[in-house]
Amino acid sequence: YEIQGCEVIWAIKDKAIGNTFFDAGAAEFLIPKLTAEKRETPIACKRTRYTMEGNEDKERPLAASDKLGSALGPDWHEGLHLKGTKEFSHKVHIEMLCEVKKIHLQQEFIQLQRTALTFPKEERNVEPDEVLWPVYVELTNGKIYGCDFIVSATGVVPNVTPFLDGNKFALGEDGGLKVDKHMHTSLPDIYAAGDICTAAWEPSPVWHQMRLWTQARQMGWYAAKCMAADTLGESIDLDFCFELFAHVTKFFNYKVVVLGKYNAQGLGLDHELMLRCTKGQEYVKVVMQNGRMMGAVLIGETDLEETFENLILNQMDLSAYGEDLLNPDIDIEDYFD
């Protein structure tokens, strides 16, 4: 969405975009942004920014190609002019329920004697592509597209291999280094935080681990506190950030807040959903169980995040309020002041 003047083929393995965070309804709310002209003012970055003091203007050395890099964080594009050579704003075509089967370099593709497709126009895509591209992507649905470059977003796997040689770390089911509620691994005086670790304590009913930049940062801060407390022989309570899962991000220039069990994670069938949607403005979904709010998805400037955060944490019985919880004509904050 940030890149202008380019055609984008978006191949996703799910039935809807943003499946990690959104249900099909939220995805449908967001789809019009794919074809809309960008006219809105960018949302200002309010997160902590990290620089090397005194070295902001110096050229940074290139990373060796054989080394893994760190995550860029959510504001990597701030200050960058992301514009291609085309005159239009942006064009995005989605290929649903498919993945990358194989990548072919230009010469390999020529030898295959296969046909690549042009960028789909009005959902029709039958014309062979006359352009020779640097690289070609063959999808599991049988289609082949040529492109200038590929962006691969395949999820996160804990990269523990460098630490296992000669060390007997206890590992979680997802392959991360098991940590207790003070971020200790199974080896004395060794801590772990972020994507590499697996939270092995009994979590709060409305918190779960997700390998996200924001959560890694929270874990890092908390691990540092635990190290200091251990060194000083002091006790420390589990940090408040592990009481409620909360993630704030931006998607298609909408503010997105996800709270608690926002997709009813682990709740089984024993839950209900409440929805409010105003096309082009906001999408609100609340997950309820036994009259109590367990999670929420807020897209747009809803101003509900603080109230809903408190309702999830307090686990108040909200049965009496019914659908008034999402009534746009009622200031829900007045109920709970």
pLDDT higher than 60, residue 62: no
Q: How far apart are the first and last CA of the chain?
A: 39
Question: What pLDDT does residue 335 have?
Answer: 66
Q: In sequence order, what are the residues at sequence separation of 6 or more whose Cβ sits closer than 8 angstroms to the Cβ of residue 139?
A: 11, 95, 98, 99, 100, 101, 145
Together in a domain, 117 and 183: no
Residues 295 and 219 in one domain: no
Note the pLDDT of residue 231: 95
The boundaries of the domain holding residue 112 are: 1-40+83-151
Residue 295 has pLDDT above 90, yes or no: yes
- For 122-155, write each residue's pLDDT tens digit: 766 668 899 999 999 999 999 999 999 999 888 8
pLDDT at 70 over 60: no
Residue 165 falls inside a structural domain: yes
Return the higher-pLDDT residue of 36 and 158.
158
Last residue of a domain, one of 213, 239, 265: 239
In a domain, 212, yes or no: yes
In a domain, 78, yes or no: no
Per-residue pLDDT, 255: 94
Mean pLDDT of 228-257: 94
Summarised one tens digit per residue, pLDDT across range 188-237 is 999 999 999 999 999 999 999 999 988 999 999 999 999 999 999 999 99
Give me the pLDDT at residue 34, please.
81
For the chain, the domain total comes to: 3
Asked whether residue 65 is assigned to any structural domain, the reply reads no
Same domain, 129 and 205: no
- Which residue among 151, 176, 205 closes a domain? 151
Out of 239, 271, 303, pick the residue that ends a domain.
239
Model confidence pLDDT, tens digit, residues 159-188: 999 999 999 999 999 999 999 999 999 999
**Is 27 found in the same domain as 87?**
yes
- Pair (24, 122) in one structural domain: yes
Instruction: Say whether both 25 and 143 belong to one domain.
Output: yes
